[in-house]
Amino acid sequence: MTVPASPPPTPASGAHLAPDSTTAPGAEIAERPSPLPAGVPRNRAADRAANRAFRPRRVVPAVITAALMTLLGILVAVETISALLGRPVRWIPYDRLLGWASSTTWNSPQVMLGGSVLTALGLLLVLLALVPGQPRLIPARTGDPDLIIGMQRRGFTRSLAHAARQVQGIDRARVRLHGRTAQVTADSSLRDTTGLAEAVRQAVTDRITALAPVDDHPVRVNLRGK
């Protein structure tokens, strides 16, 4: 007894079979990161607190300046106390300095050079105090001024590079931070890389959104193909 072959299934009313289509390079992204959860609101007070917490302390210039000021204070104190006791130690050659100051004019090259050096050092200290340096960690947005979270720069860039490598057609990817800009260098073995750079940029941007850093990080992509 022969069993007749069952007919092919008939599509339901209104249903259409999707035609075969070829995906363009970079159009499909594996493990697309989820966007920033709605439960992490933007809070200016919390963002300022996070930036202040991870701001570099300028330890080396502060230690050098404090050491020099301490030595100067000790020298002045010893000279003053010894002079009041009638036994000046004379670590500072007052007579020689007084003679040099009496015979030197304000427009002397030595005075001008010394004044320029001191002015440059003072301006350097002011710039070190005012201009923010590279933070130790990248602050993450929490929405709470009392909750401060930071990400290591190396871990942050590795996560962005991993997101770039998930793009179809990308073989290798590396991310470096230049200031706040995330510079992505990606390699692909595809001949047709149309739209691939934009797909990488979108994938990295989505990962940045998911990590929710306090500061914005624009993405630049350098795609190297065959």
Identify the weakest region by mean pLDDT among 48-52, 65-69, 90-94, 169-173: 48-52
Sign (positive/negative) of CA torsion 94, 99, 102, 106?
negative
Give, in degrees to the nearest 5, the angle at Cα 212 between 211 and 218. 95
The per-residue pLDDT of the chain, averaged, comes to: 79
Say what the pTM is. Answer: 0.57
Nearest to 171 by CA among 17, 8, 55, 26: 26
Q: Map tokens 């979108």 to a residue.
A: 202
Of 22-31, 84-93, 95-104, the range with the lowest mean pLDDT is: 22-31
User: Is the pLDDT at 11 greater than 80, yes or no?
Assistant: no
pLDDT at 225: 78
Q: Structure tokens of 128?
A: 């070190």
Position 51 confidence tier, pLDDT thresholds 50, 70, 90: confident
Helix, strand, coil percentages for the chain (3-state, nearest 5): 45, 15, 45
Distance CA 118, CA 109 (A): 14
* Rounded Cα gap, residues 213 and 152, in angstroms: 11
| Predicted pLDDT at 95 | 78
Q: For the residues 59-83, what does the mean pLDDT come to?
A: 87
Percent of the chain scoring above 90 in pLDDT: 28
Answer whether residue 148 shows pLDDT above 60.
Answer: yes
137 in Cβ contact with 149 (< 8 Å): no
Assess whether pLDDT exceeds 60 at residue 1.
no
Instruction: Return the pLDDT at 70.
Output: 94
Separation of alpha carbons 160 and 152, rounded Å:
13
Query: Token pair of 217, please?
Result: 């990080």
> What is residue 199's predicted lDDT score, i.e. its pLDDT?
94
CA–CA gap between residue 187 and residue 171 (Å, rounded): 6
Note the pLDDT tens digit of each residue in 160-171: 999 999 999 999
Cα separation, 160 vs 182, whole angstroms: 9
- Report the distance separating Cα 206 and Cα 33, nearest Å: 6
If pLDDT is split at 50, 70 and 90, which confidence band does 221 have? Answer: very high
| Spatial separation of the C-alpha atoms in residues 181 and 177, rounded to whole Å | 6
Percent of the chain with pLDDT over 70: 81
Spell out the domains of the chain, with CATH numbers in brackets.
Answer: 59-130 (no CATH), 137-224 (3.30.70.1350)
How far is the C-alpha of 128 from the C-alpha of 136, rounded, in Å? 16
Beta strands in 106-190 (DSSP E): 137-140, 149-152, 172-178, 181-187
Which is it for the CA torsion 39, 42, 45, 48, positive or negative? Answer: positive
